[in-house]
Chain A
């Protein structure tokens, strides 16, 4: 098909220009591209996209038997948030101090804060990608990091004394969480918050947005095996999971994990993965209608995961209502996911509606009321088809 099209284009050009310019292959994506040629002579041998017409079952795409997929920068950022999260969780053991400078360095990837050279040498960072570089949202996360460090400094080895009005580690059985005086768990607000402000925002608004999708899909990026559009699509995928064979793998962290957790009720795993594969295949085939269908599907399904997870944690908070540690922990998660919804593309609930839900839940997890949690669940049920699932999420 493409060959035929090249042929037609070539003939048309030959017909249009009957001047005496150097003839050769003028298609930069062809294997025999001649940069000196001014006029195409129809000799182009098209670079083959090996998996052109069939949608694969895993995120593997090649051109001339070489991979055309690259999202290492996204995997770097996933790894950064993983490492930051496990560092934050070390403070769940009372008497462990977090270093604020280290957290801020991790956020901005400065002064080699990571355990691996790979991350330390990476040019990537979480901070500049937070809500598209919104300074006030960056400041919100930096504030949380400073507060987590200060809070951890006040804990004493062996003392699980976090309580209403007192910063500290709150314990339930084998689980223990560092929380502020109002039962907010710093780690959840930071980790789940960045999942939204960085990963979710980058996928739905940035890489699947028109700015990154209305780009060249005709020629390969200099020295690379992909077009610009293909690469942007891959980056949108890399923020969802680093596992090309999701959900066989990649269910251990972030959006891949929460999609998998909701999959039993919402069927999000295959919906999201199929859409990513469909969109990438459509781009190869320059079928932008199918690509746009896939974009809409990914945005919709990720919002279902995000809102469904928020409802799930609100239900958990009710189920563990009498347990300070578990209730506050799940409420902190729920709050972060509610907040994350605003980073989606054209969210189902407005910022004001999300603010109202958070306000209803109050600012103190120790004082929350079940009626207010119920109200929040009902509001979130307005998103997509979640009303029918809210009792079981």
Chain B
């Protein structure tokens, strides 16, 4: 190396030091700048595995109360079963974001909670005794939406009568609650350190590359937020995604029960918030993405990115509360309030899908837009 070149190099280093990169590429953060292992341990051991365990208890309760109702249909056994259905679907909200590993292997989200359901086909299945619901075309004939329909599409007295009149109806309901429970048990077993032990694999996939647990979690949470929370639970029923823009009240979650949709939206947002803050199953605080972002000094404009995200999550909760009545009524009568909620979720998407991944060196890969 000659002297001139050394001088040039020196100047280049000096210049690089004072150059502002206007649009930084995702960079690999210094692995020492936050304790990623603690984050993965907390997610795996304190949130995902206990979260699925709680979910299996809820699905198993739903199953036994369904059996009680089917063997003796009365208004009170129906009410008791309906309460367990609600608890089960509400518990589902906190684990529905984990569509990776065992969850995606078994496609648990699509097999458990596709709505609206196809009521015509459900009635046909009941009459034909068709209980094989494993094909892709059967997704809207089973799961929580189908159970909701069977339980809540008429008055309690009428529903009790329907089940008394035709045992095939009970057989179908039995198959539905059994599949929801079986999926929950399978996914939990495969995660649990005792049996499938996917949790060990999850905790050992460190780093931020494609295939790292951090990358997988951030992609899954974002995809769920966009497609299933923002669009599925809010935007689609409000007509934000249809060409006509007309509301689709029948497309809200739990459309037949009707008065629990907002509660489920809240629970789903809570599940996302638990992952972000590292909130353990028992409610105590553990290592979360907030800690990672703060350790890295991540910024959004001139405020801390963590503060921006926390305040946006709070805005989403407020926007849920600002929707009057039930979701089903609101998309028709107060569509603008639902639009506000949609917009707040959209703002959260921008923070979690653009700012957060680039601070953590993670690539968003799920929008694999082949463009064909």
Contacts and interface: CB of A to CB of B under 8 A. Distances in A.
Interface stretch (B131-139, B170-178, B314-322, B343-351): B131-139
Contacts of A322: 109-110, 114, 136, 139-140
A369 B210 contact: no
Contact of A318 (B107, B134, B139, B372): B107
Contacts of A228: none
B250 interface: no
Contacts of B370: 261
A369 B241 contact: no
A363 interface: no
Interface in B123-151: 134-137, 139-140
Query: 9 closest Cβ contacts across the A-B interface?
Result: A322-B110, A392-B211, A367-B135, A321-B110, A366-B137, A370-B107, A369-B134, A321-B107, A322-B114
A327 B138 CA distance: 14
A164 B137 contact: yes
Nearest to B201: A391
A368 B136 CA distance: 5
B25 interface: no
Contacts of A316: 368
- Tell me if B's interface is mostly helix, strand, loop or mixed: loop
Interface in A329-387: 365-371, 374
A319 B365 CA distance: 13
A370 B104 CA distance: 10
Nearest to B370: A261
Count class of interface residues, chain B: 20 to 34
A369 B135 contact: yes
A264 interface: yes
Given A173-B241, A368-B136, 15 more contacts: A188-B372, A261-B368, A261-B370, A265-B211, A321-B107, A321-B110, A321-B139, A322-B139, A324-B136, A366-B135, A366-B137, A367-B136, A368-B135, A370-B111, A371-B134
B136 A365 contact: yes
Interface in A198-249: none
B199 to A, nearest CB: 15
Interface of A: 85, 89, 164, 173, 188, 261, 264-265, 312, 316, 318-319, 321-322, 324, 327, 365-371, 374, 391-392
Nearest to A315: B104
A164 B210 CA distance: 35
B136 A321 contact: yes
A324 B139 CA distance: 11
Nearest to B100: A391
Nearest to A365: B136
B366 A374 contact: no
21 contacts: A188-B372, A261-B368, A261-B370, A265-B210, A312-B368, A318-B104, A318-B107, A321-B110, A321-B136, A322-B109, A322-B114, A322-B139, A365-B136, A366-B135, A367-B137, A368-B136, A369-B134, A369-B135, A370-B106, A370-B134, A392-B210
Among B107, B114, B366, which residue has the most Cβ atoms of chain A within 10 A?
B107
B30 interface: no
B105 interface: yes
Contacts of B372: 85, 89, 188
Interface string B353-371: 0000000000000101010
A316 B366 CA distance: 9
A312 B365 CA distance: 12
Contacts of B210: 264-265, 392
Nearest to A309: B370
Contacts of A324: 136
Contacts of A264: 210
A308 B139 CA distance: 28
Interface string B310-348: 000000000000000000000000000000000000000
Contact of B136 (A173, A265, A369, A391): A369
B136 A374 contact: no
B136 A366 contact: yes
Contacts of B114: 322
Nearest to B134: A369
A121 B366 CA distance: 43
A316 B241 CA distance: 22
B136 A319 contact: no
Contacts of B366: 319
Contacts of A312: 368
Interface in B31-78: none
A321 B228 CA distance: 13
Contacts of A371: 134
A321 B110 CA distance: 7
Nearest to A312: B368
Nearest to B105: A374
Contacts of A367: 135-137
Contacts of A369: 134-136
A387 to B, nearest CB: 14
Contacts of B106: 370
A369 B134 CA distance: 6
A388 to B, nearest CB: 10
A182 to B, nearest CB: 11
